[in-house]
Structure 1
């Protein structure tokens, strides 16, 4: 997937207001510059518990293909991923990379949501047991991806 166009700051503010969330600055910068897409460096190896993880794509704003769009995925995962997080990308098997958008100390943290371990969420303000911490910021996560040789 390649992004259809890059969003403006106004587009991002509209998205935040519509969904009642605040995106971290480093992620906003990424959307303004790249607006999603399939990165060449797509392999995450920093979580020993999960082993190698593949990032198929980052979602964007205002995309033509709904499945690549942040807003579309907010709807798909509503009630499945805690409200404090949004799906910002996926792997080839349907698992999601999630960004914490809560107004807590963990804002900006990146988690891996494993759909094979999906459970009914009791408390949508907490990280669910099928979510695994990957990084303390979007930038650190993105910079830790390596090229799959």
Structure 2
């Protein structure tokens, strides 16, 4: 599968073994299409970053600031770093795979009945408030829901 989304500023190129090592360490299995995305981009800033969904304030648009990768020189851009930092605040079946311009996360369910589904996690939700919102049934559906506007990053084609 060719990546459905171009990114810039991703981490260094990944190998399948690097991804398998990550999966073993955290006892999870990444969906095939998400693995392919990481192998093609290793995260980064998406050229289509605007996402509209039924969120905390009804129809909430958000911008995906960055998809996390592995082995990035900036630790806050790494999947494993974000998994460790948010471990106490997220359900154990969720892997944070991206951040919005605020403190919110895009999470991938990696175990259980919801495996493969994507969710928006509201980092500002208070205890007892709803903080998790369904985004897409699978990774390609999330990518196809992203749009660009005049504020979206521009990736110059070589």
Distance, in Å, in 2 between the alignment partners of 1:36 and 1:4 is 6
**TM-score scaled by structure 2?**
0.83
Structure-2 change in CA distance of 1:118 and 1:32 (3 Å): farther
Distance, in Å, in 1 between the alignment partners of 2:10 and 2:88 is 27
Structure-2 change in CA distance of 1:118 and 1:33 (3 Å): farther
Tell me the equivalent position of 1:65. Answer: 74
- Deviant stretches of 4+, over 4 Å: none
Tell me the equivalent position of 1:7. Answer: 14
> Does residue 78 in structure 1 map to residue 79 in structure 2?
no
Structure 2, unaligned stretches of length 5 or more? 1-7, 151-158
> Does residue 51 in structure 1 map to residue 71 in structure 2?
no
**TM-score scaled by structure 1?**
0.88
Distance, in Å, in 1 between the alignment partners of 2:30 and 2:13 is 16
On the 8 A contact 2:11/2:44 being kept in 1, the answer is no
Q: What do you get for the CA RMSD once the two structures are aligned? A: 1.7
Q: Comparing both structures, which one devotes a greater share of its residues to strand?
A: 2
> Does residue 133 in structure 1 map to residue 134 in structure 2?
yes
Structure 1, unaligned stretches of length 5 or more? 121-127
Residues 17-60 of structure 1 deviation map (CA, whole Å, 9 limit, x = unaligned) = 00111111110010000110001100012436242111001000
Q: CA deviation at 1:118?
A: 4.4
Residues 103-148 of structure 1 deviation map (CA, whole Å, 9 limit, x = unaligned) = 42x211110000111438xxxxxxx931100100111101110002
Distance, in Å, in 1 between the alignment partners of 2:126 and 2:21 is 30
